[in-house]
Amino acid sequence: MCGIVGYIGNQKAVPILMSGLNQLEYRGYDSAGVALFDDGHLDVVKCKGRLRFLEEKLAAKEYNGNIGIGHTRWATHGEPNDVNSHPHLSNTGKIAVVHNGIIENYLQLKEFLMSQGFAFVSDTDTEIIAHLIEYHYAIIGDFVRAVMEACGELDGSYALGVLCDDDKETFVAVRKGSPLIVGLGDGENFIASDIPAILKYTRDIYILEDKEVAILRKDHVAIYDLYGMEVKKDVFHVDWDVEAAEKSGYEHFMMKEMCEEPRVIRDTVGSRIQKGRIDLKGISLTDDYLNGIEKIYIVACGTAYHAGMIGKYLIEKLARIPVETDIASEFRYRDPILSERNLVIIISQSGETIDTLYALREAKEKKAKVLSIVNVVGSSIARESDGVLYTMAGPEIAVASSKAYNAQLSALTLIALDFAAKRKQIPQEEVTRLTSELLKVPDMVEEILKDKENIQRFAAMHYNANSIFYIGRGMDYALSMEGSLKLKEISYIHSESYAGGELKHGTIALIEEGTLVVCCMTQDSLFPKMISNIKEVKARKASIMAITQEKNAAEAEKIADIVITIPNIDPVLAPIAAVTPMQLFAYYMAVLKGCDVDKPRNLAKSVTVE
């Protein structure tokens, strides 16, 4: 997720661009840049690092231009460095582009453009957009239509700001899948990824819809679709304050990030599934290597560890490779028995967790191959791994992880399916079936998010609880661990997660009248056993919250106090969606208790100390 700002008017563009980018730095901050017309030519100033480095570069010269675009980057393709930062220029330098999103067919387009003589300088997907616009501009001769033609060939998500050196009175913005707004001023107009960037200049905006193109001049804005048909837009008046607007109107970053989960899952899996086949770019594991693996270790901390536990079930079930999961702080000190026939999968949202980083180094010292699943491009763990599969969750601001966990599960599902296919453990048609279901999960999470109020009401009945139990079997047991952690870390309510079959071996002694037990029961084969577990705790007068698939709702409703359903889905894919109700439940419990949801006491977003 990146930040985009654009300006055209009578004021100097640079201060306005930088003010806007400062407001958007929470969206991405590993590099930044601006492009503007100054003294009659197109200038681009950009660099790696936080915005202050760009400010220092810009301070070297007086820029008087009054039309420009700016960008703060959250890297998805290509390490954070000067060359990969935005804006990107086309070959002739006539076209400058800033982009937020993921171009899923960028490799195919890059090959085509290289065959047409275009030379690339960066590792990004964005650079192909600048060249593609130039390609069409050379044929059509019309800047706006060239942008429309190019966008018609892009698969994936994009919010774009585009300048053309041949037309210094105009700039173009396009939206598909990534948010983009147009700010309407008096003799000046703006674009931005998010409202905070322009709120100090105007509260009147157009909210662009997918495949809408905005053509901005100082005193006029026109909106078209990709076919050149004009679109009439209503002006939206923003009455938020800046602080609220940073969260796009959500009360907390955590709610905003949970609501981003459909987009995050779509971005994490979309560009890696082509016609039912999986293409894990960046992971160079040969079929021979995969067939020779003795055991996989999945190593992480906290929420990432819980994702790893789901990964264990997925890889063992689908790829039939033995998997051991380890908490990183344990793994690094237990002198693990490893060799080159072991693959160690490291999972980390931040890519900087010190225990996980040292576990990675331990694995490499013992000659194991290391594959990491990381959210922050170019982070320490990513750099030290043999292969990296990036989750496309964008910056996760809330300390309690939500969207990154869903993305980690999505990435682990892709890995399990890819390994299974390469080891011929499941036929291609089964891979195709599961990948097509996986592509529907974002819509399923959308559905679940519509049921927020139901979960909020149930939380209102239980937020004074002293202790809440989470139970599940199989993958649902691993899922219940994450549900329990979410509740503990943001609401400070004590909670424990138990394997459903383990209750009768002691912990059922803790169940008394009114104890809330959250039951994860998305796995068809284990559903009857979970019903038995519910009856065991119900007999001790416990309250029951069941999370299950729609097809099992009627059965669950006979004995649960509340049933939260997820759309019917193959059990292998269920955890990606089933975690969202538990994240929402923990969120509402914390809000009802008046806790600081985004910054819980005692916690940090990335634990970089031992």
Q: Is 406 in the site for ligand AGP (CB under 6 A)?
A: no
Position among 399, 537, 562, 563 found at the interface with ligand AGP (CB under 6 A): 399
Q: Which residues pair with 593 in a beta bridge?
A: none
Q: Which listed residue (2, 164, 519, 520) is catalytic?
A: 2
String marking each residue 489-528 x if it binds ligand AGP according to CB under 6 A: x---------------------------------------
Residue ranges in 30-69 that form contacts with ligand AGP under rule CB under 6 A: none
Alpha-carbon dihedral 31, 303, 273, 430, rounded to 10 degrees: 170
Give the binding range for ligand AGP (CB under 6 A) out of 90-98, 189-197, 396-404, 460-468.
396-404
Position among 401, 406, 435, 583 found at the interface with ligand AGP (CB under 6 A): 401
Q: Which listed residue (295, 422, 593, 605) is catalytic?
A: 605
CB of residue 251 to ligand AGP, shortest distance in Å: 19
Q: Is 442 in the site for ligand AGP (CB under 6 A)?
A: no
Nearer to ligand AGP, 91 or 380 (CB): 380
Q: Which residues contact 300 (CB under 8 A, 6 or more apart)?
A: 307, 308, 327, 328, 346, 347, 348, 353, 356
Please answer whether residues 31 and 44 qualify as being in contact, where contact means their C-beta atoms are separated by less than 8 angstroms: no
Q: Is 391 in the site for ligand AGP (CB under 6 A)?
A: no
Report the alpha-carbon distance of residue 268 to residue 445 in Å, rounded: 14
Q: Catalytic annotation on 2?
A: yes
Report the alpha-carbon distance of residue 474 to residue 478 in Å, rounded: 7
Q: Which residues contact 330 (CB under 8 A, 6 or more apart)?
A: none
Q: Catalytic annotation on 164?
A: no
Site size toward ligand AGP (CB under 6 A) is: 16
For 244, the 3-state DSSP assignment is helix
- The crossing angle, in degrees rounded to 10, of helices 574-592 and 452-460 is 50
CB of residue 306 to ligand AGP, shortest distance in Å: 8
Q: Nearest Cα to 162, choosing from 234, 230, 71, 237?
A: 71
Q: Is 303 in the site for ligand AGP (CB under 6 A)?
A: yes
Position among 221, 245, 301, 597 found at the interface with ligand AGP (CB under 6 A): 301
Position among 23, 126, 348, 406 found at the interface with ligand AGP (CB under 6 A): 348
Give the binding range for ligand AGP (CB under 6 A) out of 261-269, 345-353, 510-518, 548-556.
345-353
Nearer to ligand AGP, 372 or 543 (CB): 372
Position among 349, 435, 495, 523 found at the interface with ligand AGP (CB under 6 A): 349
CB of residue 253 to ligand AGP, shortest distance in Å: 13
Residue ranges in 354-373 that form contacts with ligand AGP under rule CB under 6 A: 356
- Element containing residue 32 per DSSP (H, E): strand 31-38
CB of residue 461 to ligand AGP, shortest distance in Å: 25
Please answer whether residues 514 and 542 qualify as being in contact, where contact means their C-beta atoms are separated by less than 8 angstroms: yes
| Both tokens assigned to 528 | 């009857």
Alpha-carbon dihedral 285, 291, 295, 299, rounded to 10 degrees: 20
Q: Is 76 in the site for ligand AGP (CB under 6 A)?
A: no
Q: Which residues contact 56 (CB under 8 A, 6 or more apart)?
A: none
Q: Is 400 in the site for ligand AGP (CB under 6 A)?
A: yes
Q: Nearest Cα to 92, choosing from 57, 59, 135, 142?
A: 135
Nearer to ligand AGP, 290 or 399 (CB): 399
Angle CA 352–358–362, to nearest 5: 145
Residues that are catalytic: 2, 605
Name the site residues for ligand AGP (rule: CB under 6 A). 301-304, 348-350, 353, 356, 399-401, 489, 603, 606-607
